[in-house]
Chains A and B, each alone.
Chain A
Amino acid sequence: MYELNICHLYPDLLNLYGDRGNIIAIKKRCEWRGISANVFNLTLGDTFEPETYDIVFLGGGQDYEQEIIQDDVLNQKGPEIKNAIKNDKVFLCICGGYQLLGNYYKTWDGKEIEFLGALNLWTIGGKKRMIGNIVFECDFLKSPDSDGLVVGFENHSGRTYLGPEVTPLGKVVKGYGNNGEDKHEGAIYKNVYCSYSHGSLLPKNPALTDHLITLALKQKYKDFVSLQKLDDSLEERARTSMISKTVTSG
């Protein structure tokens, strides 16, 4: 029997906008297929040993909470996080967690905050918040069964820009995305997937969830081929109704 270990980093601090729904989605979609999924919560002071985990999740927090974890994530867990990324560990990082993997965050009044530097990307703070439903198109999710469209809700004031090694997660169909300028949303680097989309992202976008689970199982089990199909009719109704509502709105 297959088994996945999911690490939720700072669940007590970075848990804004229902991000824990992503963990629930991964766990449930594993369990419905008879794959056991264990969730480990790691917070301030805990040691991060990447070899224990198959999927690592990092969500977003309010400024206040991001300040609390700053030292721990940079100086305690940082080196191991970077190592794990180098070694193709599967990561999902949302909003603040996404920004945190980059090089730095420059506030709108010019103050520069050093971040992890695990991915070559950076964020510039803006005065305007980019809030609303977002639809973007992911080429790697396109298949005869899937249109590759992902829907979520974004809420950020930081504008993120990607270096040459990093590819966008998707192309914005409606909404702001990384910076409201280049039509890019999120980032992919090795097996690290980043997005500004809360909402939660995964429950309503089962194709993306299954993509991450597949990646993790392939990393762990040489004999693993593919996931069995599930009845996703409720998820599909939620996804398609929000896509059409978002795409046709103002």
Chain B
Amino acid sequence: MNLRLTLTIVVSKIIIKACRIARRGGTTLPGRIARFLCPDILNQIAKNFKTIMVTGTNGKTTTTRIIGKILDENGIGYITNKSGANLVGGIITTFIDAVDIHGKCKVSTALIEIDEAAFKVMSNYLSPDILVVTNFFRDQLDRYGELYTTLKGVKEGIVRSDKTHLILNADDSLCASLGRSTDRKTIYFGFALDAYKGVEESINSDAMFCLYCKQKYEYSNHVYGHLGGFRCTSCGYSRPETDVTCTAVEELTSSSSVITYSAGQESYRAKINLPGLYNIYNALAAIACGTLLGFPPDNTVKALGSFECGFGRMEAIDTQGKTIKLILVKNPTGFNQVLNYLLTEDKTMQLAFIINDRYADGTDISWLWDVDFEKLQGIQDKLENIYTSGLRGEDMAVRLKYAGIYSDRISIVKEYKKLVEQGLSRTPIGHSFYILPTYTAMLDIRKLLKDMFSLKDFWK
């Protein structure tokens, strides 16, 4: 028996309990203390697990959840970091929480969402069996330095993870580059040439120029952002062939989509119980994971159709015949996708933006100027009231004013309780009150809603 390991686990478990009693989330502190007590803790515990890791800028939480649903559908038990605790400390907490005092666990699969900037450090302790990378977009640059630094970090992490299988987005020139010049087994997912006709998003694309030779890419098709059929005419770097391919988007509504996709020789039709194009990519990543694990395709299709949103990314609360819809926003591309989703709403709505600038949100909020709020002009008649809140609610109000939104419909409401009450009371029966918070604002508003409408604990 390893005394130090046992001691560390026991101490950490007590801290986890204490945090929960104090209702302070308790998702990262115990892990940090555990690593202090026993630096090798993760290696010792995690070696008994088959580990699937999901990283990338956008969609990692949703992708992790869909993979979880696919595991459920196949009767595979697993542990996972559910509440978006995706830095090294939070991941250690997840493992400690799952094992007994000897470091053993009943299940042998770990499904872990990991922050793209934390993956490099993590790879020192734990090498995943499967690494899913969703995409790379600009995100909270003040924390991560630059996009290319983040990409390089993930690449270095992959070099260290010698047994890893990769699942990569072929339509993202940055993400797909991870599969180049590596001998790791790689599966690519993406959209077929004519599956969906997106428009080129002109000047704010995150990767217009070839990663290798700096020539401007040519595109055979655009899906959104810089995702699509890219090709460099100078050095020949181009979108790799896909193994899991969306061949047609048959339906795209404000709550779900229907697609056909191919995996291997076969073609399948699936309903994805999530709105938005970006979630089709998340589904493709999860399908690729199911394929790699050799699961029956029927189970995957079933999982996609019955998937329900988890913590934060998009969550609905029904009350008094009205719906509060919470959608996390955290970077320009993701935010634009959320706005596109709002454009599909056919009823009038109340809309709140809650913008914080704490460390986990990104302390620089200038990215709000890269979001195309101008497109909300098209639905001004449906936007009855717009509220801005959070530590940077004033900046958000200015952004909306300069996006051409009528100033007299914008109000800054700093107190969350008042915000929820006001927004809800002005929402007609059968309509929705949309709340779009950044990460730490999400934690706060979620806590409030939990008290007001008795939602379940988010770390369960």
A: residues with CB less than 8 A from B are 11-13, 15-21, 24-25, 28, 41, 44, 62-65, 67-68, 129, 131-133, 153, 155, 198-200, 203-204, 231, 234-235, 237-238, 241-242
Minimum Cβ distance to chain A for residue B376 (Å): 14
A15 to B394, CA, bound (A): 23
- Contact B412–A132 (Cβ < 8 Å): no
The contact of B369 among A13, A63, A65, A203, by CB within 8 Å, is: A203
- Contact B407–A198 (Cβ < 8 Å): no
Minimum Cβ distance to chain A for residue B385 (Å): 16
User: Quick one: which of A132, A153, A234, A235 has the most chain B CB within 10 A?
Assistant: A234
16 contacts between A and B (CB under 8 A): A17-B141, A17-B364, A20-B203, A20-B204, A20-B369, A28-B404, A62-B147, A63-B146, A67-B214, A133-B363, A155-B142, A204-B398, A234-B398, A234-B407, A237-B397, A238-B397
B253 at interface by CB-CB < 8 Å: no
> Which B residues from 128 to 145 make CB contacts under 8 A with A?
141-142, 145
- Contact B209–A18 (Cβ < 8 Å): no
User: Using Cβ atoms and an 8 Å threshold, which residues of chain B touch A203?
Assistant: 369, 398-399, 402
User: Using Cβ atoms and an 8 Å threshold, which residues of chain A touch B407?
Assistant: 231, 234
B205 at interface by CB-CB < 8 Å: yes
Closest 8 CB pairs of A and B: A18-B369, A21-B369, A18-B366, A238-B394, A17-B366, A11-B203, A62-B146, A199-B366
> Which B residues from 401 to 441 make CB contacts under 8 A with A?
401-404, 407, 410, 412
A153 to B392, CA, bound (A): 13
- Contact B395–A242 (Cβ < 8 Å): yes
B: residues with CB less than 8 A from A are 141-142, 145-148, 202-205, 208-209, 214, 216, 363-370, 394-395, 397-399, 401-404, 407, 410, 412
- Contact B203–A41 (Cβ < 8 Å): yes
User: Using Cβ atoms and an 8 Å threshold, which residues of chain B touch A41?
Assistant: 203
User: Using Cβ atoms and an 8 Å threshold, which residues of chain A touch B364?
Assistant: 17, 131, 153, 155, 198-199
- Contact A132–B366 (Cβ < 8 Å): no
Minimum Cβ distance to chain A for residue B121 (Å): 19
Minimum Cβ distance to chain B for residue A242 (Å): 7
Cβ-closest chain B residue relative to A27? B402
User: Using Cβ atoms and an 8 Å threshold, which residues of chain B touch A237?
Assistant: 394, 397, 412
The contact of B366 among A44, A63, A200, by CB within 8 Å, is: A200
* With A17-B141, A18-B367, A21-B366: A62-B148 Cβ-Cβ less than 8 Å: yes
User: Quick one: which of B203, B368, B407 has the most chain A CB within 10 A?
Assistant: B203
- Contact A68–B369 (Cβ < 8 Å): no
- Contact B203–A21 (Cβ < 8 Å): no
Cβ-closest chain A residue relative to B332? A18
A139 to B401, CA, bound (A): 28
Minimum Cβ distance to chain A for residue B47 (Å): 36
Minimum Cβ distance to chain B for residue A48 (Å): 17
The contact of A16 among B141, B216, B368, by CB within 8 Å, is: B141
User: Using Cβ atoms and an 8 Å threshold, which residues of chain B touch A132?
Assistant: 363
- Contact B395–A204 (Cβ < 8 Å): yes
The contact of B204 among A15, A155, A241, by CB within 8 Å, is: A15
The contact of A18 among B368, B394, B410, B412, by CB within 8 Å, is: B368
Cβ-closest chain A residue relative to B370? A18
A176 to B394, CA, bound (A): 24
A214 to B258, CA, bound (A): 54
